[in-house]
Every structure is written in structure tokens, then in C-alpha cells.
Amino acid sequence: MSTKNQPALSTPASSSTPAAQSATARALMQKIESKTAIIAIVGLGYVGLPLVRAIRDSGYPVIGFDVDQRKIDALNNGVRYILHLGDDFFSTLQADTQFTPTSDAKDLGKADLVVLCVPTPLGPHHEPDLTYVIESTKSTAASLRKGQLVVLESTTYPGTTRDEMKPILDARGMKCGDEYFLAYSPEREDPGTMGRSAQHIPKLVGGVDDVSTDLAMAFYTRVVKSAHRVSTAEIAESAKLLENIYRAVNIALVNEMKIVLTEMNIDVWEVVAAASTKPFGFQAFYPGPGLGGHCIPIDPYYLTWKAREVGRTTRFIELAGEVNTSMPHYVIERTQLALNDHTKPMKGSKILVLGIAYKKNIDDPRESPSAEIIELLRDHGAVVSYHDPHLATFPAMRKHRVNLSSVPLTPATLAASDCVLILTDHDVVDYSAIGQHAKLVVDTRNAMARVPANLMKCQLVKS
């Protein structure tokens, strides 16, 4: 659904008067309001591409920049490289004369707004790695001109926009808030979830000064359904971290509950469903084999690192991290016990892992616990294969090199496996076939709950 001509302003819509704005700011505001501003998106991945669609739907011309030439070639040829966006998304962009994909950083100088949607991973010691933010800021600074607004969307620690990006941009000799402008608006993508496209998820917007916030708000309120103004970039940066830490802590809580309740022979999934009947004071979170994705396993450590800089510790966050990172080992333990019940040692057992994406119905394996679990299974001597309908090969990971290709999910494959280990519950999988043809299923996602009892021929272990 297009959001054209449907701006939804949060109050206050502006905290700087037009008279207080420079002529440069007023000129940029006029371009934003008339939708003649050219928008450049830096980073054409899981965050940048959905934002391109939202911006194009709202009527702005867009330049898409990425250092990966393969993505540029795919976009020029209408070839899909992100599953959940669909073929139509890529064919539409290919035919769109107002969208220009490029790997030439000089093209960023043509834009009026430059939006950075780049990864913010962790280093080897759980320290923030701002390499992509710094390098993309340098690329933007190389062609920075008067009248440009730069916005960071990547999740990061408080102060990144002001303390890390601004000095690089200031080095061009222009005054921020007067000649160029800088703001932060965190991405809130939810890949693979219907009804949660970039246009429909509210945005937070905070600049390093009031004028920058005004301009960023004017832009985002014309692109997304609603935008909420906050007083500073640091507020927006911190709010994004809180959103993801909230999820990480609650997932750790329910993972710990699962371990305890399993020892009591109590079904944690039914417990969560029962608690969910309360109409207030409870939000359902679900256990799993560990955390995955580009946000939840990583972002809490950005605040943990920053807290040490000011002499504080984040014990609650770090404890949640310990629980969540221990879950792959718990899955191995449960799988070993299940095999023992079948008088099978793990060493030499054929284990079919079902699903390597970090969540269902997407083709994104970033930080997926499946990689660590497969390595642990191999360390224990298991013969491992996997099936994932959305990932034909297991790509190289930040810490892991699995080097496997997906096998067909056939009755013969299932029957030949000593254990089927469900790690990702993709909807397109035939779970009834698993119930009929597998010998043993260890289910970390409650996926087999959808199989009628009369079709369950296997032994099922919930983990």
C-alpha cells in the first residue's frame, strides 16, 4: 500500500522556526516537501532494499549504493537475492527509471539525502565493530556538499552519530546544522513477517541538532506511516538498543524456563500459551535453540561495551547473553539423551538438521545457532546433513565454516536419518511427512505440534 500524500507527523513536528534555519536548510526542506530531493541508500541488503521500496513508493528518486558489485548486477538484471522480498520486487526495481543502482561512491554526491544502512557486527571479543559505519561515512564525506542530510540507520551504541560520524563529515569544512545536516533513525525491519514492511513500521528520528531533526522528520513522515521525533540522536540510538535488549532478556527468561520445566516434564509451549491468556502485563516470547539474526545476538553487547567506558556494568544484559549463548549446548545434550533412548551413541549417528536460517520463512543465516550446533554435532562424531528450502548451501559465517549443501526432504532421507533435529520451523516444510517417516525427532521450535496425532509415527522429543 502506498503512503503517498499521507504524512503522519508526531508532535512536536518541528522545534526550530524557519527564520532560525539557514537558507541551505530551507532549500533542502523545500526539496523534501516537493519530493524532488534525491535519496541515496548506502547498503542494499535486508535493511536498505526494503527502505528503497518505501522511498520509491512515496515518490522520491533513489540512488542505491553498495560496494558489492554482485548486488548491483542483480538489481540491473532483476535477479532476486533476498528471498522474502519476492521476484516482483526485483523486477519492479529493474524497470524503475527513478531507481539507480551503483557501486561508484562518487554518485553519493548527487543525492540530497544519504541514508546509511550498513552492518554493525561484533569483533572477536564482543566489542563493537564500526568498520562499515566509518568507511561508509568516509565515502559520503568524500563527496559531501552543502545542503545534504546524512542519516544513519544501523544499530549502534549511543554517541556514534555525533562522536564517530560527525567529525569525519565536519572535516570537509562545513558546519553541521547550517550547511550540512546529520541525524539518526534506527531500522526496524522484521524480515519474513507479513504486514510489517518498512512503510508500516513507525520510525524514531533524532538529529544532532534541531534543524537536522526537522529535515529528517520531514523526510520520514513522507515515507513511512508514522514517525516519532525524539530530542537527540543519542535518545534514538539508545531506544533501538533497548528494543533489542528487551527481546534478548525475555528470550533468555523463557529459554531458562524451558530448561527447568523440561526437567519437571512440563511443556513450556503450553505454559507460554496459558500465560498469554492474560490480557495485560504479559507478552509471549518463545524458546529456541539459541539466538540468531543481525540484531538480538549482537546489539546488547554494544551497550555493554559502552557502559564500561563510563565505569558501569550491565549484569542483567550479560546474564541474558550467557543463557542464550548456552542454548546450542543444551540442544546437543537433549539430542544425545534422545539418541541414548534409541540405544544409539551420537558418534556415527546420522543427524538431519532441519532449517539453518535464523528465523522461519527467510533465507538469512546470519548468526544462526544452526552453525554452532552443526559444528558441535560434528565434534561429537555425528554425521550431519541439513535441509532448508530457502538456503541451498550453507554460506560462510562470521565464526563458522559449515561447508554443506541442502539435501532433499524425502521419505528415504528421513528414514535413513537416526534423528531429525528441527532448528528452524519454515512453514513450507511438510511436517506430516516428518512425523510419518522419521524415527526420532528433536524439536526445538514446537513445529511438530501442527501434525495430527494419527500421522505421528516417530518418537518426538521437545527441546
Instruction: Compute the Cα dihedral for 306, 311, 317, 323 and give only its sign.
Output: positive
DSSP 347-405: TT-EEEEE--SSSTTS---TT-HHHHHHHHHHHTT-EEEEE-TT-SB----SS-----B
Q: What angle do CA 92, 31, 57 make, to 5 degrees?
A: 20
DSSP 8-state assignment for residue 36? -
Place of cell 541474558: 320
Q: List beta partners, residue 419.
A: 351
Instruction: Compute the Cα dihedral for 86, 88, 91, 95 and give only its sign.
Output: negative
Distance, in Å, from the CA atom of 420 to the CA atom of 200, rounded to the nearest integer, reads: 38
How are beta strands 203-207 and 181-184 bridged, if at all? antiparallel
Distance, in Å, from the CA atom of 441 to the CA atom of 455, rounded to the nearest integer, reads: 14
For the chain, give percent helix, strand, coil, nearest 5: 45, 15, 45
Closest to 240 in 3D by CA, of 310, 319, 178, 184: 184
Tell me the domains of the chain and their CATH numbers: 18-234 (3.40.50.720), 299-462 (3.40.50.720)
Instruction: Name the helix (H) or strand (E) containing 133.
Output: helix 131-142
Interhelix angle 233-263/315-341, nearest 10 degrees:
30
Helices (H) and strands (E) in the chain, counts: 14, 13
Active site residues: 295
DSSP 246-290: HHHHHHHHHHHHHHHHHHTT--HHHHHHHHTT-SSS-------SS
How are beta strands 149-152 and 113-116 bridged, if at all? parallel
User: pTM here?
Assistant: 0.90
CB-based contact 405:338 (threshold 8 Å): no
Instruction: Name the helix (H) or strand (E) containing 338.
Output: helix 315-341
Full pLDDT tens readout for the chain, 463 residues: 334 444 444 444 456 666 568 999 999 999 999 999 999 999 999 999 999 999 999 999 999 999 999 999 999 999 999 988 988 999 999 999 999 999 999 999 999 999 999 999 988 888 999 999 999 999 999 999 999 999 999 999 999 999 999 999 999 999 999 999 999 999 998 876 766 678 889 999 999 999 999 999 999 999 999 999 999 999 999 999 999 999 999 999 999 999 999 999 999 999 999 999 999 999 999 999 998 877 788 888 899 999 999 999 999 999 999 999 999 999 999 999 999 999 999 999 999 999 999 999 999 998 899 999 999 999 999 999 999 999 999 987 767 778 899 999 999 999 999 999 999 999 999 999 999 999 999 999 999 999 999 999 999 999 8
| Grid cell digits, residue 171 | 572535516
